[in-house]
Structure 1
Amino acid sequence: MENEKKIVGRCPKCGGNVVKTCKGFRCENSIGDNPSCNLNINGILGNRKMSDDEITELLTNRRIMLDGFMSKEGKAFPTVLELTDNGEVLMQSVIGKCPNCGGDIRVGNRAFNCSNFTNQTSKCEFSIWRNIGGHQLTLTEAQEICEKGITSAELEMYRDDGSVYRKRLGLSPDKLQIVKI
């Protein structure tokens, strides 16, 4: 039991096991005298401790949207972590293009917002709330709305009385609002 390693996923570079270490997560092939891989993911990213499950999801899906990162000024922000083929972890706030004006859609604390919201010459007020009908939108669902105009599957939502219903989310004809379809 003493030398047991906690495996959290597969290495995107060499296919080896990624294990939890005292400073984060490493490919087991990067440990020892003759390392054949150099994957090393810090356990703290953006002043936020990463959980084993979050690293497993990042290794599996290569992209994960998370809240609770902290700037040097102490301001909390959400972001998308992206794991590149060479093992780098990038922070990306852009999730896609605005279906209304073509600007960048960025992940925000409560919504996915068009970057042209503050642009005085071509202001765009397009946004997708992150919680619609009690359903927390995933990164994939928000990207589907931006790219295809509709979610691929029905989503479970809740009425005020607590009853459950299922609808797809899509763009209104004017591409300014999200509607339940």
Structure 2
Amino acid sequence: METEKKIMGRCPLCGGNVVKTCKGYRCEHNIGEQPSCALNINAIIGNRKMEDNEIVRLLEERFLLLDGFASKEGKSFPTVIELTDDGTINMRPVIGKCPHCSGDMLVGSRAFNCSNYGNQQAPCTFSIWRNIGGHQVTLAEAKEICEKGMTASELEMYREDGTIYHKRLGLSPDKLQVIKI
């Protein structure tokens, strides 16, 4: 008697169903004697247990900004995980180029920061806070700011008294800070 399987979404490699297994998540075509698909996502990545809803989003979006990974030394860090076209998982701390100096923009626990922050010859202090006005800046929004100079749409933010307002986030004229537009 066959029991039901928990389907997480569609496989981006072959279109089959991705199912939850005892060790993670696999394409249904990567189970059995003669697998025809390579998709296999471990349940634990970077010393962090992946949640079912994160796998669903990863299968749809292919990039996911997550906190709570841990190095071998036990130091916690955030990163972007990427599901590549060949089905492998990459951890990428770089989200794009700094709009001020063209250095790499890195994911930090509280901000997206320019990799040239500590550069003795050409220091750069550009960063995008991950929380602006009570709004959690998404990976897509941070990329928009870096690539296009502002977010495509207005974002919901909150004042000290709790009232809601809407603004876009964009670059200051000198491209050294993010401002509300």
TM-score computed with the length of structure 1 as normaliser: 0.98
- In structure 1, distance between residues paired with 2:32 and 2:127: 49
Q: How does 1:20-169 map to 2 (within 5 A)?
A: 20-169=20-169
Deviations 1:70-111 (A, max 9, x none): 000000000000010100000000000000000000000000
Deviations 1:118-164 (A, max 9, x none): 00000000000000000000000000000000000100000000000
- In structure 1, distance between residues paired with 2:9 and 2:45: 18
Secondary structure of the corresponding residue to residue 117 of structure 2: helix
The AA in structure 2 aligned to 1:145 is I
Give every structure 1 segment of 4 or more consecutive aligned residues whose post-TM-superposition deviation is greater than 3 Å. Answer: none
The AA in structure 1 aligned to 2:143 is Q
- In structure 1, distance between residues paired with 2:6 and 2:129: 37
The AA in structure 1 aligned to 2:28 is E
Secondary structure of the corresponding residue to residue 8 of structure 1: strand
The AA in structure 2 aligned to 1:89 is I
Secondary structure of the corresponding residue to residue 14 of structure 1: coil
- In structure 2, distance between residues paired with 1:177 and 1:92: 23
The AA in structure 1 aligned to 2:175 is K
Secondary structure of the corresponding residue to residue 142 of structure 1: helix
- In structure 1, distance between residues paired with 2:38 and 2:2: 25
Unaligned runs of 5+ in 1: none
The AA in structure 2 aligned to 1:122 is A
Secondary structure of the corresponding residue to residue 118 of structure 1: coil
Unaligned runs of 5+ in 2: none
- In structure 2, distance between residues paired with 1:115 and 1:34: 45
Give the equivalent residue in structure 2 for 1:11.
11
* Structure 1 vs Structure 2 CA RMSD: 1.0
Identity of aligned residues (%): 71
The AA in structure 2 aligned to 1:138 is T
